Structure 1
Amino acid sequence: MPSAAERTRTLVQSTCSAVLLVPGASAARPEQLTPQARAIGPDGEILLLFPADAPPVRAATHAQDDELAVVLELTDVAPVSVPHRIRGRAWVSGWLTCLPGVAEPGSMMLRLEVGEARVDDLWGASPVDAEAFAAAAPDPLHAHETELLQHLHAAHGEQVRALSGLLGARSAAMAPTRDVAPLALDRFGLRVRFSAGPQQCFDARFDFPEPVRDVSGLRREMHRLFDAARSDRC
């Protein structure tokens, strides 16, 4: 199971939506609080790129002599159509400062020094301290997850559906008119959502024998998983 710090780090370094909650900027439009890009610095700080005239930049500029406390809110939405598409959220709180001269003209790089974080996702809700966040690494599949899930859904839908055969009695209890879609993928396994309507759904987790390191390893494990489901049906 990925740690809470790893899951938070993965969300920060993924393409999921993010908004920077800044005191005094409640009247700003959501797009004005959305960074154009984000990255992790060498000490675990979060680097956020904004237009030079964005509300977070103005707030950080005016607070250079003081600590500007902010929260980066991230929302993770499943890349395939499923009931209840929000897979999780994370909140990273800390202190915001400007980094002049780092970005291109017309833009400003902001530095978010992480104080603490919290993640609430498919694995559950957990706090994350700054040291654990800085030491964690994102899931190695995070850059490919959207493409891989969409490919599984579009090209291997029947094979994903056949995984229900590995659920034993739980599969037999499901409604016959269910929808099946791959919901999440990480180095430890695949999560699938089975549903017979918005209010009748559950998730099943299919763990790999060993964590995978890359897409090639994932491909091998997916073939083994599909072969196991096919053998169960024979």
Structure 2
Amino acid sequence: MLLVPGLSVIHPDQLMPDSRSIGPEGDLFLGFPSGSPVVRAATRAQGDELTAVLEITDVAPVSVPHRIRGRARVAGWLTAVPGLAQPGRTMLRLETGEASVDDLWGFEEVEPEDFRDAVADPLVAHEAELLQHLHATHSEQMASLSALLGDRGECGCAEHRLDAVPVSVDRFGLRVRFVEDGDACFDARFEFPDPVRDIGELRRAMHILFEAAAC
């Protein structure tokens, strides 16, 4: 959601870009209908500095308690860029001034240069599908990971196993949310022996993890 100081709208979805991309200098390019309130504000402000904040909410693609995995903010200066969008659409450029992330790892501010130079995780395009597949097809193997938790995993017997839902996966490991009685839950992070570079390496890493849990 793109927030512009002093701009109010009737429907919140008017502040939601329908496309997002990042330029080589770390600027965000956001697509909107040409008649949207955000575009009108950016067009009227041409030549002046119009500040804006893009707020992003990351929601787990599987059903799990406390489903929001994180929030991010990118603040900077907003301008309209003609000629980059299809007819009826307008591309807005948000020059990155500051950014922050508050997620499962904690809160951290991100320097514009680090944001510019960041490389996407190789699994990011497949993460939602992978988590949904693990949850729907490998629930027994996911539950078996409680055997790797020590005392937190209780005795490891089938009747005492915790419900286990995969909540995130990246090249370094898998995060699982274990749900106890009621809504009580906790996360455990299972690191892979080596960072994975593609789906094939992820399959091998998951096989090793499930084998360790079965021992």
TM normalised by structure 2 equals 0.95
Aligned partner of 1:192: which letter?
V
Deviation at 1:197, TM superposition (A): 4.4
Q: What's the counterpart of residue 107 of structure 2?
A: 125
Mark the CA change 1:22 to 1:28 in structure 2 (over 3 Å): closer, same or farther: farther
Q: What's the counterpart of residue 220 of structure 1?
A: 204
Deviation at 1:28, TM superposition (A): 3.8
CA contact (8 A) 1:84 1:198 kept: no
Aligned partner of 1:184: which letter?
S
Q: What's the counterpart of residue 120 of structure 2?
A: 138
Q: More deviation in 173-182 or 147-156?
A: 173-182
Deviation at 1:178, TM superposition (A): 3.4
**Does 2:133 correspond to 1:154?**
no
Q: Distance in 1 between matches of 2:124 and 2:136?
A: 19
Mark the CA change 1:121 to 1:173 in structure 2 (over 3 Å): closer, same or farther: farther
Mark the CA change 1:65 to 1:173 in structure 2 (over 3 Å): closer, same or farther: farther
For residues 78-136 of structure 1, the C-alpha deviation after alignment (integer angstroms, 9 at most, x for no partner) is 11111100010001001111110110100001111000111000000000111110011
Runs of 5+ unmatched residues, structure 1:
1-18
1:38 match: secondary structure: strand
Mark the CA change 1:58 to 1:198 in structure 2 (over 3 Å): closer, same or farther: farther
Deviation at 1:177, TM superposition (A): 6.7
CA contact (8 A) 1:28 1:55 kept: no
1:138 match: secondary structure: coil
Q: What's the counterpart of residue 6 of structure 1?
A: none
**Does 2:13 correspond to 1:27?**
no
Q: What's the counterpart of residue 47 of structure 1?
A: 29
1:91 match: secondary structure: strand
1:91 to 73, 94, 106: 73
Q: What's the counterpart of residue 185 of structure 2?
A: 201
Aligned partner of 1:101: which letter?
G
Task: Answer 1 or 2: higher relative contact order, Cα 8 Å, separation at least 6.
Answer: 1
1:108 to 79, 90, 101: 90
Deviation at 1:199, TM superposition (A): 3.9
Q: Distance in 2 between matches of 1:28 and 1:65?
A: 27
Deviation at 1:168, TM superposition (A): 1.2
Aligned partner of 1:179: which letter?
D
1:26 match: secondary structure: coil
For residues 147-182 of structure 1, the C-alpha deviation after alignment (integer angstroms, 9 at most, x for no partner) is 000000001010011011011112118993732100
Overall identity of the aligned pairs, in %: 62
Q: Distance in 2 between matches of 1:143 and 1:62?
A: 36
2:172 to 170, 184, 188: 188
Aligned partner of 1:66: which letter?
D
Runs of 4+ in 1 over 4 A off after TM superposition: none
1:57 match: secondary structure: helix
